[in-house]
Structure 1
């Protein structure tokens, strides 16, 4: 395996069949999802601190609540 990802190649070879391929994709997707959740969780408080919330209203003011424009 010269593509730099020997783990993925080995998982597909060992699995043998479409079910194994689906499982390998699910495992990789699960790992990716966990990383995204951790990243988002650590980034949210910083985003909240940097936002100017003065122009936004909550449900108690009678106006519809609008999310701030995020920088990405």
Structure 2
């Protein structure tokens, strides 16, 4: 079972820096068992990336249909 400190250590081992820009697209199932669940994962990212930018894409597939098939700002 991973802890918040394990998560932070992993970020460092992967070469992450607190000033990086990080796009996070993941699955809790793929991460494995984490003490405290998703809250712990988010807390670890927030604690580690104090000066950086975290990007979490959201997908609203329920809104995708023939009427709204593309994003056009």
Structure showing greater Rg: 1
Output the TM-score relative to the length of structure 2: 0.26
More strand by share: 2
Higher RCO (C-alpha under 8 Å, 6+ residues apart): 2
